Chains A and B, each alone.
Chain A
Amino acid sequence: MNEAKSATGIGASVKRKEDVRFITGSGCYTDDINQPGQSHAAFLRSPYARARIESIDASAALEIEGVIAVLTGADMVADGLGDIPCGWLVKQKDGSDMVSAPHPPMAATQTNYVGEPYGVVIADTLAAARLGMEAVLTDFTELDAIVDLATVRDSEQIHEGVEGNLAFDWELGEREATEAALASAAHVTRLDLTNNRLIPNAMEPRAALGIFDKVSGEHTLYTTSQNPHLARLVLSAFVQIAPEHKLRIVAPDVGGGFGSKIFIYAEETAVIWAARKVGRPVKWTADRSESFLADAHGRDHITHAELGTDEEGRFVALKVQTTANLGAYLSTFGSAVPTYLYGTLMAGQYSTPNIYVEVQGVYTNTAPVDAYRGAGRPEATYVVERIVETAARELGRDPVELRRLNMIKPDQFPYETPVALVYDTGNYEASLAKALVHADYAGFAERRAAAAAEGKRRGIGLACYIEACGLAPSNLAIQLGAQVGLYESGEIRVNPTGSVTVFTGSHSHGQGHETTFAQVVSDKLGIPFEDVEVVHGDTGRVEFGLGTYGSRSLAVGGSALIRAAEKLITKGRRIAAHMLEAEVDAVEFIDGDFLVKDSNQSLSFAEIAFAAYVPANYPEDLEPGFSEKAFYDPENFTYPAGTHIAEVEVDVDTGVVELKQFVAVDDFGNVINPMIVTGQVHGGVAQGAGQALLEQAIYDEFGQLVTGSYMDYCMPRADDVPDFTVDTTVTPCTHNPLGVKGCGEAGAIGSPAAIMNAVTDAVGDNSISMPATSEKVWRALR
């Protein structure tokens, strides 16, 4: 761990500024905001997975007191609103574009998943809106639902023009070389895996408040977004709700996102449109049932993988074939997650020379699937780390030793993988070694024997994961199909008294930006932590931004702030040189003071700021004011990596799996706030434990979501997880000014594979799939 310069500087475990309001109920979330004359929206949602809308009779609803309007998908079409676009265009094997079916904000003619909105009732009160919603009579003709991934290709076509329900057939790597290497391998391990479908479950459900000012023509949308500028861009340029300069999007306090609040959804779109239609502010807050149905889900893959090894156990080839469920429509990043955020990670931490990945992305009559904490990388890690563990078992090798043999060595960086990435730096063996010590790997046999003596089965499992974070070098992302650049903006406005207001295009929905970004800026400018205010989440205040996802905030947004601070320091040196009658080159900036070399002359940051705004005797070539901004575009992804070790105990009589120990040793590069990093790892591991042991979204054969509430969808609770052991190793990122890599997703990336390796080790059955419920484990033990 890097040493902190001060109690609030980089490397210090500063308590989170924002927590005071969060834990005292003083936060201001979208639903806390109210407007005079505000009306409420209740959405009409399809009860069928696939149905034609024959007619909508709103007459009874409109008679209900308080109901103002019933607006439908057809009304949106009539108003000329566009479809919601997918933000990442994936090229298929044959070079053609993926097949993106039109995604109307609200269905006009056909619904394609249960819960899909096809209309909205606006009323004076929420109660009236709901009564109205229930009084609308919609005549549907139900069509057969296409749900099963195994048969979807041969099923009826969901979207016109999408043959075999195939959105894309994508590949990465060298097929022939990989197959040849597999054919001549000494041993080939084969594994079939399912990556279970998850529902994000942010603590705060999605919400929106749309306001239209008919005098100025300005639209304002308060909403739960991880990236308000991106939302504004899409809503103006594609959906054509309003011109960009007449649309302001504010994402105030947001209670968790995990990816699910990146995307452009129907409801937020409809609310701002409806506000203009009815001439009153319109508010909508999802109830938990709506979140289950209509938030984009995560994961949902079936995969066949083959790993070839030579006589010594060196990996010679990995071939992965995946079918990825995209849901009914391509959500904002739905096409990128199972391709470029998945296939590119198949090298893992290993120097496997031949890798080939093919992914078929398919449409089904289920909710759209998109990024969920980790987004593609947990799925990739699950494939790599499960098959490596399986290979070790088949070869009778110690899984640690087999991994170590194949790991990319510290002197091999930068390391170019066969799947398009160049890892800049890392030391995988260091994290592994540290994790083994924390986990007392050597003492496991003893613990297993002790458990056996009590009639329990104990198992241990590793996952040595890698992820690509800090999305992303724009030129690379655009080459790969991104429709926007993935830089970030940062602005530092210095007030005349020397305090600063920082504007970032990143968005905090629980990550603690107000604290870490203030640490970074105060450290860089040598000013008190308390003098830094961080502003984010408002297109009316922050110039532009691409938001927070893919563990990018600090690596990209934080780097932009460093660039802006550097510009400030450059200007400050010029001001100081002028004031102190020195050459600019002779002025140094050290810990908040501008000093003239070899003299005792100096001016503080605050003095320079004041001079900048009260510019007496300024030379002509020096502008007044002290404010700088920067756009930072990373050169490469960052590559956090580490080793997670899980230990479980299985009760033979009940099949209950208890997670006894979890060790995470991660290399996130430099760490700004160790306490926040630890918290992020804790949360991520708990989510990963949820995926491994508890959570699964299930649609029945008719496309009905049967896990539509917390009675049937099991989230992890405090007593489902042990006291985690979290530690770090550090190889600073080589290409960003902070040397940071990102820590937001790692916990959820490494843990499912580690836990499942432990469960299958304990049970002695490698076929157990996630979630390893007591029923599944109990059956496997019989």
Chain B
Amino acid sequence: MEQSGEYRVQAGLDQVWQGLNDPEILARCIDGCLTMEKTSEDRFETTVKARIGPVSATFHTVLELTEVVAPTRYTINASVTGGAAGFARGTAQVRLSEDPDRSGATMLRYAVKANVGGKLAQVGSRLIDGAARKMANDFFAAFGEEISGEVPVATGANAPEVERFEASGQWKIWLIVFAALAIGVILAL
């Protein structure tokens, strides 16, 4: 899977950077987040529990940051394991910059390459693009509100507004599963 996106957050560069490095803020922005720990300067570990009907899984994600250039870029290596639900792993390159068109706003750009395994792969990688993008959007909505009180805007050709899925239970779990990877993307910002 390859995906990229672009968002505008109504907050300054440093503020966004700090927010993205604050495990407490992040944990509040992720639905179902059980733990969010910054285990070292460049490493986060998180568990997210998702449960729909009889299906339930806890996704454990380890994120390692490399090529960190504060407050503008880093690369993240993410590994997500979900037991019976499968796993995901990938790298994301993330850049922050001041929005040239609007002072006090920050542009976030990410490009992620990932592959998935187990049930995640089986259920259809073509779904995952949409799911991951939706997760990214949901996270940014929460994150933007958290740090600026305003919902950020998806911008650019690669980040169209994602339609809302009226998901069935079975379907929804995959969205949530993939949130773990999306979180990786987001954290790197």
Contact = CB atoms under 8 A, between A and B. Distances in A.
B143 interface: no
Interface string A273-315: 0000000000000000100110000000000000000000000
Contacts of B68: none
B57 interface: yes
Contact of B56 (A44, A126, A131, A138): A131
A373 interface: no
Nearest to A133: B84
A430 to B, nearest CB: 47
A225 interface: no
A114 interface: yes
B55 interface: yes
A676 B84 CA distance: 43
A45 B125 CA distance: 20
A60 to B, nearest CB: 9
Contacts of B54: 126-127, 130-131
Interface in B105-158: 115-119, 121-127
A712 B127 CA distance: 10
Contacts of A45: 84, 118
Contacts of A130: 54-55
Contacts of A705: 121-122
Contacts of A484: none
Nearest to A127: B54
B117 A47 contact: yes
A134 B121 CA distance: 17
A27 interface: no
A711 B126 CA distance: 9
A686 to B, nearest CB: 24
Contacts of B87: 47
Contacts of B127: 711
B23 interface: no
Given A127-B54, A130-B54, A293 B84 contact: no
Contacts of A136: 83-84
Given A133-B84, A134-B57, A704 B119 contact: no
A708 interface: yes
Nearest to B124: A711
B121 A700 contact: yes
Contacts of A289: 119, 122-123
A712 B125 CA distance: 9
Contacts of B55: 130, 134
Contacts of B121: 114, 700, 704-706, 708
Interface string A109-128: 00000100000000000110
B85 A134 contact: yes
B12 interface: no
A465 B115 CA distance: 42
A724 interface: no
A712 B87 CA distance: 19
B166 to A, nearest CB: 17
Nearest to B123: A709
A48 B82 CA distance: 12
A706 B122 contact: yes
Chain A CB count within 10 A is highest, among B115, B122, B124, for B122
A207 B181 CA distance: 35
Interface string B76-94: 0000000111110000000
What 3 pairs between A and B have smallest CB-CB spacing? A708-B122, A47-B118, A704-B121
Given A47-B86, A47-B119, 6 more contacts: A44-B84, A48-B117, A134-B84, A706-B121, A709-B124, A712-B124
23 contacts: A44-B84, A45-B118, A114-B118, A114-B121, A127-B54, A130-B55, A131-B54, A134-B56, A134-B57, A289-B123, A293-B122, A702-B115, A704-B115, A704-B117, A704-B118, A704-B122, A706-B121, A706-B124, A706-B125, A708-B119, A708-B124, A711-B126, A712-B126
